């Protein structure tokens, strides 16, 4: 059963990031604390909004996710909700003590689409990988790949012309490590134009 969305009238003080929000260079929320979320499992999922995959979480009683907690000023929640417009905000149970309630975003059921489709953008994955590598090191990056479901989808190589709006020019060594992880998963990034066209059913 899905956790009810957090009340808009009782704003939490912190947000738990498990994807792009782990990369602190994509937002201004401070301070930051490494944290562990209880009761959820991370996954790539397809939505009806566009033919690319989103990172999300689903309820899982035994699930644990390492990520980054960031304090959010009450006035900053509208902008953060807009950034995460495809997601609903839920109360988060963290194993890490924080001075206040935390929230976690999960793709809203109304936006989810059936099926394993939706291409993973390399420009998006690189940003997530940079965050995990910075805050959790190589072991944390390894754990991200190992504890994320939904890798059964194409990967679009858009590094030359990034489609992800918060893309970053990450270090070449990190890109190589991301590519190595994808290779171990049996995934070969392909042209973004062709991959996204296929994902959209254009040919």
- Ordered structural domains, the chain, with CATH: 14-107 (3.10.490.10), 120-199 (no CATH)
Contacts of 101 (CB under 8 A, 6+ apart): 6, 10, 12, 13, 14, 91, 92
Distance CA 118, CA 14 (A): 30
pLDDT score for 196? 60
Helices (H) and strands (E) in the chain, counts: 4, 9
pLDDT digits (tens, 9 = 90+) for 112-130: 997 667 899 999 999 999 9
Residue 149: how many CA atoms within 13 Å on its side-chain side? Answer: 14
pLDDT score for 7? 42
pLDDT score for 15? 98
Phi, psi of 148 (to 5 degrees): -115, 130
pLDDT score for 194? 55
pLDDT score for 117? 74
Please give the full DSSP string across 121-148, using - where no structure is assigned: EHHHHHHHHHHHHHHHHHHHHHHHHHTE
Q: What is the CA radius of gyration of the chain?
A: 16
In which residue ranges of the chain is pLDDT below 70?
1-10, 115-116, 192-203
Distance CA 92, CA 104 (A): 5
């Amino acid at each position: 059963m899905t956790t009810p969305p957090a009340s808009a009238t009782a704003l939490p003080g912190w947000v738990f990031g498990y994807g792009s929000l782990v990369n602190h260079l994509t937002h201004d929320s401070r301070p930051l604390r490494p944290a562990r979320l209880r009761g959820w499992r991370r996954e790539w999922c397809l939505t009806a909004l566009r033919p690319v995959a989103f990172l999300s979480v689903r309820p899982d009683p035994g699930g644990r996710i390492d990520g980054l907690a960031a304090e959010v000023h009450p006035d900053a929640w509208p902008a953060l909700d807009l950034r995460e417009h495809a997601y609903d905000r839920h109360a988060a149970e963290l194993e890490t003590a924080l001075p206040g309630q935390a929230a976690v975003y999960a793709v809203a059921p109304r936006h989810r689409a059936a099926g394993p489709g939706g291409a993973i953008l390399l420009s998006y994955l690189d940003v997530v990988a940079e965050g995990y590598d910075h805050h959790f090191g190589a072991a944390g990056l390894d754990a991200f790949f190992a504890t994320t479901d939904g890798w059964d989808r194409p990967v679009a190589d858009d590094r030359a012309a990034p489609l992800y709006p918060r893309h970053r020019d990450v270090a070449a060594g990190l890109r190589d490590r991301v590519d190595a992880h994808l290779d171990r998963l049996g995934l070969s990034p392909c042209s973004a134009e062709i991959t996204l066209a296929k994902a959209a059913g254009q040919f």
